[in-house]
Structure 1
């Protein structure tokens, strides 16, 4: 029986329910990451005994499932775009925005299928615009490809944000600090391709990089979804 199917115990002097428990856990994770979340710490925030939480949640993994589902409620747009490309674009950007509000989300993306109500809503919003365009196996590979892209891109961006906080160096500060070493290494001539990228490439922010890469992935998916042209009658 999943955590969503299991009934909650009756209310007691300090009121508890899964909604309050999950809200407290999300707040802890927003403050200190997933490592800051434990049933004991959640109980302390709610002024309840830790054992009471086990009436609602059996394990920390179940708590993470509920937290993930809570944040996935922020991802599904109020109105579903009719075009498959716009639908996947919106979902990818909304997932990134949710991860920037709740950085710990990046640690849970790409794991087991999310079976909570919001997770199922995300899955339906992802698959429905592609229905009927091609066979279901191609649809699934297309969805997996887009998901793999934005999951990796989001994790990289969140990792960089955490590094900035840990070191106290912004991206620009780190580039300035690393510049002399990189200049010396490139001057050896051993890295011509890297040198060209550093000297001639355009430096873009994370949002622009995310959007550009997403469009390239969607272009590739579109090529697989578009039926090949019919041969000319004279051929």
Structure 2
């Protein structure tokens, strides 16, 4: 029986009451502060002021705990707006914002479908928002948006982590590596790339995300209208 279906132990009159919701909240607190490596049943139990063995009545493994924390973040993600395009745009933006609030979330999405109640409610809302679109177009369209968002937020989170690890923000990194690129481009081996970097518009992270999303939504619109 999956953790979503397994009942919690009955309440007991103890000094530190426990529930899955309290366990998940404590795990998210640890992950937000110090990353997934800071999350263990022992550390969660310490935050809650209970012995680690008490958690096993609610959660059998760390994998179950991670399933629960991911599902809790999915509760923050719902599509909004009128029409399928605004619904998919808001779904993408909400997922991105959730990943920036909880960096570790980007490490746990993108694999097999999440089956928790909040993740299923997110997908239900997305499919319903495309109710007027043929299902064989709607489901791949949602999957395409999700795939784009996963790739985009992982790139953004990787950049943030690199900034912390090196102490250099994006502009400082570019300034440090600029002379190397100029020397390389001067060889004439990469003319198209040199032109793109020198002459192209350099977008910030928000603009890059929204521009790429517009390209994707334009393609979906073309498929729907064909």
TM-score, structure 2 normalization: 0.95
Task: Measure, in 2, the Cα distance between the counterparts of 1:67 and 1:161.
Answer: 22
Task: Measure, in 2, the Cα distance between the counterparts of 1:98 and 1:22.
Answer: 16
Gaps of 5+ in 2: none
Deviation at 1:81, TM superposition (A): 2.4
Task: Measure, in 2, the Cα distance between the counterparts of 1:179 and 1:132.
Answer: 50
Provide the residue aligned with 2:103 in structure 1. Answer: 103
Residues 1:81 and 2:81 are matched in the alignment: yes
Provide the residue aligned with 2:116 in structure 1. Answer: 116
Task: Measure, in 1, the Cα distance between the counterparts of 2:149 and 2:203.
Answer: 17
Task: Measure, in 2, the Cα distance between the counterparts of 1:208 and 1:123.
Answer: 26
Provide the residue aligned with 2:207 in structure 1. Answer: 208
Residues 1:150 and 2:152 are matched in the alignment: no
Which secondary structure state, in structure 2, belongs to the residue aligned with residue 48 of structure 1? coil
Provide the residue aligned with 2:70 in structure 1. Answer: 68
Which secondary structure state, in structure 1, belongs to the residue aligned with residue 91 of structure 2? helix
Deviation at 1:8, TM superposition (A): 1.1
Provide the residue aligned with 2:132 in structure 1. Answer: 132
Provide the residue aligned with 2:191 in structure 1. Answer: 192
Task: Measure, in 2, the Cα distance between the counterparts of 1:145 and 1:91.
Answer: 12
Task: Measure, in 2, the Cα distance between the counterparts of 1:147 and 1:108.
Answer: 13
Task: Measure, in 2, the Cα distance between the counterparts of 1:151 and 1:173.
Answer: 26
Gaps of 5+ in 1: 229-235
Task: Measure, in 2, the Cα distance between the counterparts of 1:90 and 1:15.
Answer: 38
Task: Measure, in 2, the Cα distance between the counterparts of 1:199 and 1:175.
Answer: 13
Provide the residue aligned with 2:91 in structure 1. Answer: 91
Provide the residue aligned with 1:51 in structure 2. Answer: 53
Provide the residue aligned with 1:33 in structure 2. Answer: 35
Q: Which deviates more from structure 2 when the two are superposed, residues 175-184 or residues 205-214?
A: 175-184
Deviation at 1:132, TM superposition (A): 3.3
How far does the alpha carbon of each residue in 1:105-128 deviate from its partner, in whole angstroms, 9 at most, with x for none? Answer: 101121221222211111011111
Which secondary structure state, in structure 1, belongs to the residue aligned with residue 120 of structure 2? helix
Counting matched residue pairs gives: 224
TM-score, structure 1 normalization: 0.92
Which secondary structure state, in structure 1, belongs to the residue aligned with residue 111 of structure 2? coil
